[in-house]
Structure 1
Amino acid sequence: MKIFQWMYDKALTWAKHRHAERYLAGLSFTESVIFPIPPDVMLAPMALAHPEKAWRYATLTTVASVLGGMFGYLLGWWLYDPVVLPFIQYMGYQETFALVERWFIEYGVWVVFVAGFSPIPYKLFTVGAGLMHMAFLPFVIASLIGRASRFFLVAGLMYWGGAKMQQKLRDIVDWLGWGTVALGGVLYYVYG
């Protein structure tokens, strides 16, 4: 099934749209709070389509993502019971969120950095940080470092890889996509 390749081709089309930067910022912000699709799916094709703007796109993605993370933090801090908890229950994320809470207790601010860089759903950690009343400044700093590391790495790979990277990425995107899904399932099974 070539679902990730189809999404990649769609993202390349969207990357050339005149409002692509707005879409990228919106996707980056909402992914940090609720949306399941990571901004990398737009950042990578945009950096490939316009390599001269790769660093600008990485900066935009980082800033919007951290701002979204701050919003998720505030949701967790102030509106967990009336807003977040019903959503977690509706989506069936109770066990996953309980795991996130255990990680916060065990690893503290480091878990925010790891979640910001890795394919682990960052949104769970933004809301979790607010719920656990983590200190705000360390949360923002860890988010900024983790998110910037990830998005500048993606933009840099696209910048230096060019058209050759674009075709290579298209050829392996389904393997990468399904591999990430499988890794997420294994991690959930092992640590859940």
Structure 2
Amino acid sequence: MFRAMYDWVLRMAHHRHAMRGLAAVSFAESSFFPIPPDAMMIPMVLARRDQAYRIAAVCSIASVIGGMFGYAIGYFLWDSVGQWLVGVYHMETKVEALRQGYANYGAAIILVKGLTPIPFKLVTLASGFFAFNFPLFVILATITRAARFFIIAALLKRFGEPVQAFIEERLNLFAWGFLILLVGGFAAIALL
């Protein structure tokens, strides 16, 4: 199963709409979609190392724009869509603790959580809900998302061939590890 998906993404990396697809996934992940763009970005960079920084830039820009959309959901649509999304992730009891965290450590929360497997959409929704300073939110989101995607792109560009061989030899292990990190990110949020 994982081999077929991996091979499909590698083939799609050369498709004329690959960047648009990556941008759409990156945008959606920052506001409502559960799958991080890394699942698409990493195979794309491995397939097109000459485009590594362009891929990272598309991913970063779309993620920040998606983050702005997530912020808007939290800020303007909290009573309907925002509360529903929090319910989907079982965060109802955590909202007050998050409010205090944002009051004291909002900038650090955005910077750190933007680099981790914890779903970034939760940060964007919370930033809007707690009315975190919007221009500062955009700056911090840009820093953390660009750092994440450009570090990945730089490492894959530099060490791509051995990394690709290593991943392909252990594809199932990496795929299961990715799924565990994804589920772990959601579980960490639920346990906070």
Give the superposition deviation at 1:130. Answer: 0.5
**Corresponding residue to 2:124 among 112, 123, 126:** 126
**Distance in 1 separating the partners of 2:120 and 2:112:** 9
Give the superposition deviation at 1:42. Answer: 1.2
Pair 1:123–1:129, CA change in 2 (3 A): same
Gaps of 5+ in 2: none
**Distance in 2 separating the partners of 1:9 and 1:67:** 29
Pair 1:30–1:184, CA change in 2 (3 A): closer
**Distance in 2 separating the partners of 1:65 and 1:104:** 21
**Distance in 2 separating the partners of 1:64 and 1:182:** 23
Q: Is the 8 A contact 1:51 1:158 kept in 2?
A: yes
Q: How does the TM-score come out when normalised to structure 2?
A: 0.86
Q: Percent same amino acid among aligned pairs?
A: 39
- In the other structure, the counterpart of 2:137 is 139
Farther-moved stretch of structure 1 (99-108 vs 117-126): 99-108
Give the superposition deviation at 1:60. Answer: 0.8
**Distance in 1 separating the partners of 2:91 and 2:60:** 28
SS at the partner of 1:119?
A: coil
- In the other structure, the counterpart of 1:173 is 174
- Residue-by-residue CA offset, 1:147-168 (whole Å, 9 max, x unaligned): 0110001111211122221121
Paired residues for 1:1-192 under 5 Å? 7-89=5-87, 91-95=88-92, 98=95, 100-170=98-168, 171=170, 172-181=173-182, 183-184=184-185, 187-188=188-189, 191-192=191-192
**Distance in 1 separating the partners of 2:101 and 2:20:** 34
**Distance in 2 separating the partners of 1:59 and 1:36:** 21
Pair 1:163–1:39, CA change in 2 (3 A): same
Farther-moved stretch of structure 1 (176-185 vs 20-29): 176-185
- Residue-by-residue CA offset, 1:30-71 (whole Å, 9 max, x unaligned): 100000111111111111111111001101110000000011
Q: Is the 8 A contact 2:52 2:157 kept in 1?
A: yes
SS at the partner of 2:114?
A: helix
Q: Is the 8 A contact 2:27 2:65 kept in 1?
A: yes
Aligned residues: 188
Task: Give every structure 1 segment of 4 or more consecutive aligned residues whose post-TM-superposition deviation is greater than 6 Å.
Answer: none
Q: Is the 8 A contact 1:75 1:84 kept in 2?
A: yes
**Distance in 1 separating the partners of 2:98 and 2:40:** 27
Pair 1:64–1:181, CA change in 2 (3 A): closer
SS at the partner of 1:110?
A: helix
Gaps of 5+ in 1: none
